[in-house]
C-alpha cells in the first residue's frame, strides 16, 4: 500500500482507538447512529443536487428528491414548523444564509458578545463582518450567565436593529425571548435564534420553544444535542410567504450549491430517531449536566451559575483560572483522555489564554451514561485538575469507566443484521 495511504489509515485507526477509551465532552460534538452512519457511505455522497426537489439543475435526482422531501417532512414534524430547509451544509452556512437573506452591509444587528458565549459567526472577524453588519452586543448578567433582560430591551429600543440575533456556544440557559417580545414588536425587528447547540433539546421539549416565543427563524447545526451528521438546518414557522422565500433564496443560490446529499439522508435517519427517542434522550442529557455540575462543584471546581443550578442545557462552564487556566487544564484533561476545550468567560480578553473550560454531557449520554457515571466523571476530572495526579495514570481509570459505554443509545437497532449491532468504532 502507498505509504501515504498507510499513514492516513494508521492515524484514523489510532484516533478511533483513542476515543473508544476516552470521555468525549466537547459540547459541540456527538456520535451518529449506526443506521445514520450507513447513509454517509452511500452513493448519495458522490452526487449533485442544486435547487429544490423537482426543480433541480441536474438529472439523476429521482430518488434523492424523494429522500429530501421526506427529510423536510420529518424536520417540520419534529420542530412543529412550516419551513424546514435541510440544504445548509453546516450551522455556520445556515447563519450565512440568514445574513444574506435579511441583512445588507451597514444594517444594525444586535447579538450576544463573543466573551459572553456567542459563536464566532456573529463576530466582526466572522460571518457578520464578512457581510458588513454593524453588530451591537447585548448587556450580560454574569451571575446568571444570561442576558440582562431590562438592559437588552432598552438596547433594542435604542438602536432599533433590523435583526435581533440570539444564541450561544456557551448556552447554559434559555434565552428570554418571551420577556423581550414587546421590544421586538415596538421596533419591528426580525428575531433570529441560532440554536446550534440546543437543537436536540428544543426538539425534545427540554429547553425552550423559540418559534412559539418570538423567533422568526432558527438556524442550527445537526450534530450537537441533535445527534446527527455534520450538517445544517434552517427553520421558520412564518406565514409570510415573501419572508420565507427570502430565507430559502439565502440558502440557494445564496450560500449553498450542492448540499451534501449523503449527510442530508443521514439527517433524515436522525430526525426519525429523534421523533422516537428524542424526549427521553434530551431529558437525560439535561439531568446528566445538572448532576455533573453539582458533582464538579462538590469536588472543588468553580462551576459558573451555581446559584441558578449551573445549567438548563447540556453544557457547563468552569472558571479554572486558579488551577492554571483553560488552556493548561484542558490540555491536562486531554492527556488523561478527557476531551474538553478551553473557553472564553465573560471577563476574558484572550481566546488563547482564557480562564474557562467548557464541557457537555450530550455524547456521554448518547453512550448510555446516567447520573451515577457523572459522579465518576467528576471524580476523574478532579484527580487531574485539582489533585494534580499524573494524567496518564488517570487515563487508565478513564478507560475502565468507558469500557461498558461504547454502544450508541437512543436510536434504532434492528435485531438481526450484524451491521445493526455494530459497536462504536468497530
Task: Dump pLDDT digits (tens) for 194-210.
Answer: 999 999 999 999 999 99
Mean pLDDT of the chain: 94
C-alpha to C-alpha distances, 390 to 335, 380, 385, 394, 397, nearest whole angstrom:
9, 11, 10, 7, 12
Residue linked to cell 435604542: 158
CATH topology for the 35-272 domain = 3.40.640
Q: What is the pLDDT of residue 424?
A: 38
Q: What is the pLDDT of residue 421?
A: 38
Q: What is the pLDDT of residue 129?
A: 76
Q: Where are the domains of the chain?
A: 35-272
Tell whether the model's pLDDT for residue 20 goes beyond 60.
yes
Q: What is the pLDDT of residue 291?
A: 98
Task: Dump pLDDT digits (tens) for 136-180.
Answer: 999 999 999 999 999 999 999 999 999 999 999 999 999 999 999
Q: Does the reported pTM lie above 0.85?
A: yes
Amino acid at each position: 500500500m502507498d505509504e501515504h495511504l498507510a499513514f492516513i489509515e494508521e492515524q484514523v485507526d489510532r484516533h478511533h482507538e483513542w476515543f473508544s477509551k476516552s470521555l468525549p465532552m466537547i459540547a459541540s460534538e456527538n456520535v451518529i447512529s449506526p443506521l445514520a452512519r450507513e447513509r454517509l457511505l452511500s452513493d448519495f455522497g458522490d452526487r449533485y443536487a442544486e435547487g429544490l426537489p423537482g426543480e433541480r439543475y441536474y438529472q439523476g435526482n429521482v430518488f434523492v428528491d424523494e429522500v429530501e422531501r421526506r427529510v423536510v417532512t420529518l424536520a417540520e414534524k419534529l420542530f412543529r414548523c412550516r419551513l424546514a430547509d435541510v440544504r445548509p451544509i453546516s450551522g455556520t452556512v445556515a447563519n450565512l444564509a440568514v445574513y444574506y437573506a435579511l441583512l445588507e452591509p451597514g444594517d444594525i444587528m444586535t447579538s450576544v458578545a463573543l466573551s459572553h458565549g456567542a459563536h464566532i459567526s456573529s463576530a466582526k472577524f466572522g460571518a457578520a463582518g464578512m457581510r458588513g453588519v454593524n453588530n451591537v452586543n447585548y448587556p450580560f448578567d454574569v451571575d446568571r450567565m444570561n442576558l440582562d433582560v431590562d438592559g437588552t430591551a432598552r438596547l433594542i429600543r435604542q438602536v432599533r436593529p433590523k435583526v435581533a440575533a440570539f444564541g450561544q456556544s456557551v448556552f447554559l440557559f434559555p434565552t428570554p425571548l418571551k420577556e423581550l417580545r414587546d421590544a421586538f414588536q415596538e421596533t419591528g425587528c426580525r428575531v433570529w435564534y441560532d440554536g446550534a447547540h440546543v437543537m436536540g433539546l428544543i426538539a425534545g421539549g427540554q429547553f425552550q420553544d423559540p418559534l412559539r416565543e418570538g423567533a422568526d427563524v432558527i438556524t442550527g447545526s445537526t450534530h450537537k444535542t441533535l445527534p446527527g451528521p455534520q450538517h445544517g438546518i434552517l427553520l421558520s414557522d412564518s406565514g409570510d410567504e415573501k419572508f420565507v422565500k427570502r430565507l430559502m433564496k439565502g440558502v440557494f443560490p445564496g450560500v449553498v450549491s450542492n448540499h451534501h446529499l449523503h449527510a442530508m439522508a443521514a439527517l433524515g435517519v436522525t430526525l426519525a430517531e429523534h421523533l422516537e427517542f428524542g424526549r427521553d434522550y434530551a431529558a437525560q442529557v439535561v439531568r446528566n449536566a445538572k448532576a455533573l455540575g453539582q458533582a464538579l462543584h462538590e469536588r472543588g471546581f468553580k462551576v459558573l451559575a451555581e446559584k441558578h443550578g449551573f445549567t438548563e442545557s447540556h453544557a457547563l462552564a468552569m472558571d479554572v483560572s486558579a488551577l492554571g487556566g483553560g488552556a493548561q487544564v484542558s490540555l491536562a484533561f486531554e492527556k488523561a483522555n478527557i476531551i474538553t476545550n478551553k473557553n472564553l468567560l465573560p471577563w476574558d480578553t484572550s481566546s488563547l489564554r482564557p480562564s474557562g473550560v467548557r464541557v457537555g454531557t450530550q455524547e456521554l449520554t448518547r453512550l448510555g451514561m446516567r447520573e451515577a457515571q457523572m459522579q465518576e466523571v467528576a471524580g476523574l476530572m478532579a484527580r487531574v485538575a485539582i489533585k494534580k495526579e499524573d494524567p496518564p495514570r488517570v487515563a487508565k481509570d478513564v478507560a475502565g469507566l468507558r469500557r461498558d459505554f461504547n454502544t450508541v443509545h437512543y436510536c434504532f437497532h434492528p435485531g438481526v443484521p450484524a451491521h445493526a449491532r455494530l459497536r462504536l468504532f468497530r
